[in-house]
Structure 1
Amino acid sequence: MEPTHLIVLAIAALCGGFTQGLAGFGSTLVALPMLALVMDLRVATPVCCLLAVALNIILTGKLRGHIVWPALALLLGASLPGMAIGAHALRSISDVFLKGALGLTVLAFVAHALGRRETGLRAGTGLGLLAGFTAGCMGAAIGINGPPVAAWISSQGYDRNGVRATLTAYFLLAGIGVVSAQYLAGLLNREVWTQTAVATPALVLGLGAGMACCGRIGERAFSRVVLGVLGLSGVSLIAQAFWSAFAR
């Protein structure tokens, strides 16, 4: 493994772990574009998924007492039919369109959340069902399911532990499903496992740093962090869509 490859792999894992520890989501959106610089997406994507599952096992274990079970059940229930549609009907839709549409949707959620601060209103159950359904569709179609779910959870007025615990529990269960599908498809080969093992120490270091930083900020600052990560996620998705469109 070349030194440049090792450096990029470590930085991607470190940044992904830090983001997940701080905000409760975002590891894949942060790490995947970096890993794609030095490895094929057929390797980078399962590596990111395995790292995300490892992160969420740790976080769910630490935060399990703060999980908001009704919100988790609502999102998972809405995600299941979305996963089925994403795995079949959305195969014919360009990933450029899907990423662009998801990016615009996330930015709309952020704008809505910023406006909601002035009124104190929360996104209702209907938007929760839509967020779960969209996450299921997008997770199955392009491997990205975090932004819609994170946007809705962050709008519910839960404290930081409730937000992070519910998000990590959702991503853990959804991630196990994705990794199982990748295993059955033969994507979890020796190279993937090797890259994952090499990245794990940096991942754990980043996770610890992110969790430590989260414990030092107030609820209002945490809300800003979540909205900031969501905003960057939306911009990143739109940029990926443009990049893919012009690369073709």
Structure 2
Amino acid sequence: MEPLLPVCLTAALLAGFVQGFAGFGSVLVALPLLLTVLDVRTAVPLGSLVAVSINVVMVARLHGHIQRGPMKTLIAGSLPGMAAGAWVLKDAPDALIKGILGAVILLLVAQSVVSPAPRTAPAGRFWAVVAGFCSGTVGVCTGANGPPVIAWASRQPWRRDELRATLTFYFLLTGLCIVTVQSTQGVVTRQVLTLFAWSLPALLAGIKIGGACCGKVDERTFRTVVLTLLGLIGTSMVWQAAGTALR
């Protein structure tokens, strides 16, 4: 148990840095590290609390940049998506859903590289509904609701603060729902809360460092980093799905 606290602090620091820089990715960074020293029923709620805390701080800093119209459309699409996800969950295996989602993300990344999003194009309401619906569906099925919304947002003609703020607010709303459900199921234990409290200083330090680094790069570099993270997420999902299928 000796490496438990150092690993949790490292996960919190990296999660804060990535979220502070890009506006997403905290759970994707923290969870694999936490799972090396914690069981799933402890690591997942701890990661969820870390993500919600990060998003609270980020929303407080960036609330003036939130694109409220698209946000409402995303939420409107997510609600029926969650209902559909509950239905899909009965039959479709997680590996298949992750594989399809990963492939779609990689296609979107490739499209963005070949044909970058125009800087004056309005945010498409139809595709916002589609992204929200896919996010709700996949979120219920696999717990990874971020990629569809991130892939959609990366194609919008927003500046980096607008992109970070809108993604952060969306993930804050959905994260609060997730933590509420976890609490009602009894997985937010005293150990989870204790580790979370110990991780807060590292978490806040990571957010500050990530935000400072984000301010030092230009818009093109920022979008390149976002697309790179998306590519890694998509590749990871396809790899996990393939590995499960071959077992």
TM-score range, shorter chain: over 0.9
User: Which residue number in structure 1 is paired with residue 161 of structure 2?
Assistant: 161
How far apart in 1 are the matches of 2:241 and 2:13?
A: 25
Are the aligned partners of 1:91 and 1:141 in contact in 2 as well (CA < 8 Å)?
no
* Deviates most, 97-106 or 157-166: 97-106
TM-fit CA distance, 1:229: 1.1
Change (3 A) 1:32 1:240: farther
TM-fit CA distance, 1:79: 0.5
Q: CA RMSD in A?
A: 1.8
How far apart in 1 are the matches of 2:192 and 2:49?
A: 9
How far apart in 2 are the matches of 1:176 and 1:88?
A: 22
Give SS of 1:157's match.
Answer: coil
How far apart in 1 are the matches of 2:47 and 2:233?
A: 16
User: Which residue number in structure 1 is paired with residue 88 of structure 2?
Assistant: 89
For 1:168, the aligned partner's letter is T
Change (3 A) 1:69 1:121: closer
User: Which residue number in structure 1 is paired with residue 197 of structure 2?
Assistant: 197
Give SS of 1:38's match.
Answer: coil
Are the aligned partners of 2:20 and 2:211 in contact in 1 as well (CA < 8 Å)?
yes
User: Which residue number in structure 2 is paired with residue 112 of structure 1?
Assistant: 111
How far apart in 2 are the matches of 1:17 and 1:94?
A: 31
Give SS of 2:36's match.
Answer: coil
Higher percent of residues as helix: 1
How far apart in 2 are the matches of 1:179 and 1:12?
A: 19
For 1:125, the aligned partner's letter is R
What is the correspondence of 1:7-156 to structure 2 with a 5 Å cutoff?
A: 7-117=6-116, 124-156=124-156
TM-fit CA distance, 1:150: 1.1
- Any idea what the Cα deviations from partners look like across 1:211-234, whole Å, max 9, x if unmatched? 000011111111111111111111
For 2:226, the aligned partner's letter is V
Unaligned stretches of 5+ residues in structure 2: none
How far apart in 2 are the matches of 1:241 and 1:201?
A: 35
- Any idea what the Cα deviations from partners look like across 1:92-138, whole Å, max 9, x if unmatched? 32111122222111111111211222877967333222111111111
The share of aligned pairs that are identical, in percent, is: 45
How far apart in 1 are the matches of 2:59 and 2:7?
A: 27
- Any idea what the Cα deviations from partners look like across 1:44-65, whole Å, max 9, x if unmatched? 1111111100000000010000
For 1:145, the aligned partner's letter is N
**TM-score with structure 1 length normalisation?**
0.92
Are the aligned partners of 1:75 and 1:132 in contact in 2 as well (CA < 8 Å)?
yes
User: Which residue number in structure 2 is paired with residue 186 of structure 1?
Assistant: 186
Change (3 A) 1:112 1:125: farther
How far apart in 2 are the matches of 1:58 and 1:119?
A: 30
Change (3 A) 1:69 1:174: same
Are the aligned partners of 2:117 and 2:157 in contact in 1 as well (CA < 8 Å)?
no
Aligned residues: 246
Change (3 A) 1:241 1:14: farther
Change (3 A) 1:137 1:25: same
How far apart in 1 are the matches of 2:138 and 2:213?
A: 30
How far apart in 1 are the matches of 2:83 and 2:117?
A: 38
